[in-house]
Amino acid sequence: MTDAKHHDNQARAADNLISVFEHQILDGTLQDGEPLPTEREIVQTYGVSRTVVREAVLALSNKGLVDARPRFRPVVRKPGYDAAIQAVGSIVMRLLTVPGGVRNLFDLRIMMEVALAREAALHADRDHIADLKSALEANEAAIQDSHLFFETDTAFHGVLYDVPSNPVLPSIHQAYTDWLSNHWKQMPRQPDRNIKNARAHRAIFEAILLRDPDAAEAAVRAHLDAAWTQVRETFNDL
């Protein structure tokens, strides 16, 4: 058997094994928190090599369907919104490397957060307002520490995704953070830039506090447009 044919056979065997376990996870045969059979049991049951088993487990882990850690048996994860969004993560990361890829994703974030700001201005309750205020204060307190500022900046925006009480939205926010953080973390650490962003966050908060959806939308749009300008000043090839 040629090397190419052997590789093709292994790939088909791995795809078949992935399909088997996907169905067992989705139909409940394998329950959330339950370990997969041992590698030896899978080899004996399905007549595949250990290499095929490891390829299948890696693929299932990338799809968010199992939690695979070194020296531990892979454990089934209940399919949910996090898993569904993580499953496309590797594809999105590749798309970010093509011309315009980062801009496309950032435009989508702008559209999402503009709508969320309007929603917050109209419907945020007392707890949401308190969470926004706390997140804003933490962000302002971190201006001189750019690493902490990035974390508190993310947390402030995250509150907007919590307001509608839709379980998909926090997963989307986490995905945006994961997909774009590599660029954000390479940005120069400049307290004056942090000051501008913190002021923009306060403008968003105050518009929501005043129950003014138009002002909230305008504040988010101005903030994210300025943020994109900051990114372009750092990365000229986006």
**Hey, is 35 helix, strand or coil?**
strand
Q: Please name which of 44, 55, 61 lies closest in space to residue 16, comparing C-alpha atoms.
A: 55
The residue written with tokens 């204060």 in the block is 137
| pLDDT for residue 237 | 54
Tell me if the pTM is above 0.75. Answer: no
| pLDDT for residue 217 | 98
Q: Output the CATH code of domain 87-234.
A: 1.20.120.530
Amino acid at 19: S
For the 3-79 domain, the top CATH level (class) is: mainly alpha
Give the bridge partners for 234, in sequence order: none
| pLDDT for residue 183 | 65
pLDDT per residue of the chain (238 residues) written in tens, 0 to 9? 555 566 677 888 999 999 999 889 888 899 989 999 999 999 999 999 999 999 999 988 877 788 888 888 999 987 666 666 666 666 666 766 778 878 888 898 999 999 999 999 999 999 999 999 999 999 999 999 988 998 999 999 999 999 999 988 998 888 888 777 766 666 666 788 899 999 999 999 999 999 999 999 999 999 999 988 877 776 665 5
| pLDDT for residue 28 | 86
Domain map (residue ranges) of the chain: 3-79, 87-234
Are the beta carbons of 36 and 30 closer than 8 angstroms?
yes
| pLDDT for residue 146 | 87
Q: Please name which of 67, 62, 96 lies closest in space to residue 176, comparing C-alpha atoms.
A: 96
How many of the other CB atoms lie within 10 Å of CB of 173? 22
| pLDDT for residue 37 | 94
